[in-house]
Amino acid sequence: MVRTPARQSARSLLSQVASQGRTQRLYIHVPFCFHKCHYCDFYSLVDTRDRQPAFVRRLTDELAALGPLAGPLKSIFVGGGTPSLLAPHLWRDLLRALDERFDLGLIRAGVGEFTVECNPETVTRELLDVFAQGGVNRVSVGAQSFNPAHLKTLERWHDPANVGRAIEMAREAGIRRQSVDLIFAIPGQTLDEWQADLSLALALQTEHISAYALTYEPGTAMAARLARGEFPKADEDIEADMFEATLARLRQAGLDRYEVSNFSKPGAECQHNLGYWRQEAWLAAGPAASGHVGGARWKNIPRLDDYLDHHDAGFAPVMDVELPDPRRALVERLMTGLRLREGVDAQPVVEGAEGLNPGAGKRLLARVAKLKSEGLLETGNALAEGGGTIAATGERWSLTDRGFLVADGIVRGLVGVLGF
């Protein structure tokens, strides 16, 4: 991995890697929440409304700097934090800046996707009307659970009834695509309770549902409470049962899995996130936003004060910069591609591995053959090896339903045989 010094400006980095007018995806991070949920490790601050105007002014400057690097946008994703916490008049300013600085033609035509993450407690009809006028065509509503006791365990503050209300208001405002986020394997949650959450989510008839197993990220309140023995982690067998129940219930309702934790009706996949998993390029704006262009990765500095105070012709200070590196790119292609139902294109992975570390391609093929014999991975065409070269023409590798249950271990094993 090639890392540069800790702090630099996105301007110097992007001048090295970004071709003008080529990047077609944009992520924007809004760092405000009204309360910190105990499981959350995203960058957000519990903030009153006093710093929102300065944030939007600064973000507008950053968007002006990034605009010339972007082509017609295929997708915008505004995440956080709680983007729906920004006041409607500030959202108007932000949407105007996007319209002025970027080509939103694909989005306005309904071909492109513009998602905003919403907390059910903070959306209003006024805000959704502002979204719709500004081109937003998809909302992702954080439900997590419909069970008040489990929401309490997560320290997630909203009334479950407001999830349906938010979805309904989005429809009335003309935002035609909606997704709901759920969490399972919450301490104390039973399989029946999870099934009830799935039923309530399905009753909302959204085209997309994300269902994540609860994780205990270091530094979160949830991890500290676990360490203090406040509750036990969900039993592994129950978690696996919940994972399988999720697939069965959602598939039965016409929402199939297209990524480990994401389910949609045909054609309703989140295009922005698919772009991440397919290793496409995206620009990033806002504190803690991560970007990927020209094989380089970086993160905007995750402190609101630094973000507000430091300008370089509009660009933000960045950290965790990783310059283009074929080995990292190959590992990432395997790691993110195997998260997807469509899997990874085998040929460039095998040839790339062999080129970077002779023997690695053969080891990869052997491991894939073993996983296939165990029913954990499926391939398209037969694997071919001969004449001293390895070919896997037209073949894709993808995990089976059983493979998805142990996806992390499979990917770790495949990355391990690369020997990088």
- Residues of the shown chain interacting with ligand SF4 in the complex, contacts defined by CB under 6 A: 33, 36-37, 40, 42, 44, 80-82, 119, 142
Q: Which is nearer to ligand SF4, 31 or 275 (CB)?
A: 31
Rounded to a whole number of angstroms, the minimum distance from the CB of residue 46 to ligand SF4 is: 8
Give 80 or 317: the residue with its C-beta nearer to ligand SF4. Answer: 80
Give the nearest distance from C-beta 156 to ligand SF4 in angstroms. Answer: 6
The residue sitting closest to ligand SF4, measured at its beta carbon, is: 40
H or E stretch including 64? helix 52-66
Whole-number minimum distance, CB 118 to ligand SF4, in Å?
Answer: 10
Residue 228: CB minimum distance to ligand SF4, A: 20
- Of 47 and 241, which CB lies nearer to ligand SF4 in the complex structure? 47
Report the distance separating Cα 300 and Cα 342, nearest Å: 31
Instruction: Report DSSP letters for 245-271, one per residue.
Output: HHHHHHHHTT-EEEETTEEESTT-S-H
d(CA 65, CA 318): 14
Least separation in angstroms between CB 349 and ligand SF4? 34
CB 80, min distance to ligand SF4, A: 5
Residue number with CB closer to ligand SF4 (33 or 344): 33
d(C-alpha 288, C-alpha 318), whole Å:
9
Nearest CA to 316 out of 1, 118, 46, 59 is that of 59
- Non-local CB neighbours of 145 within 8 Å, separated by 6+ positions: 151, 154, 156, 160, 182, 183, 186, 189, 197
> Cβ closer to ligand SF4: 270 or 383?
270
Q: How far is the CB of 103 from ligand SF4 (least distance, A)?
A: 29
Please identify, using beta-carbon distances, which residue of 37 and 335 lies nearer to ligand SF4: 37
Which of 257, 235, 234 is closest to 247 using CA atoms? 257
CA atoms within 13 A on the CB side of 304: 20
Quote the CA–CA distance of 248 and 58 in Å, as a whole number: 46
Measured CA to CA, the distance from residue 213 to residue 183 in angstroms comes to 6
Residue with smaller CB distance to ligand SF4, 23 or 140: 140
